[in-house]
Amino acid sequence: MTLSLQDYIPPEKVAQNARKGLELREQFKRGGTHIGVARAQELSARGYIDPGNIKRMVSYFARHEVDKKAQNFGNDDNPSAGYIAWLLWGGDEGKAWAEQLKKSFSEKQGKHPS
Q: Taking a C-beta distance cutoff of 8 angstroms, is the pair 18, 88 a contact?
A: yes
Question: Rounded CA gap, 18 and 87, in Å?
Answer: 5
Per-residue pLDDT in tens (0 to 9) along the chain, 114 residues = 578 889 999 999 999 999 999 999 999 999 999 999 999 999 999 999 999 999 999 999 999 999 999 999 999 999 999 999 999 999 999 999 999 999 988 776 654 444
Residue 99 is assigned to a structural domain of this protein: yes
The number of distinct structural domains making up the chain is: 1
Q: Taking a C-beta distance cutoff of 8 angstroms, is the pair 37, 25 a contact?
A: yes
Residue 113 is assigned to a structural domain of this protein: no
Residue 114 is assigned to a structural domain of this protein: no
- In terms of residue numbers, what domain contains 37? 5-108
DSSP state of 76: S
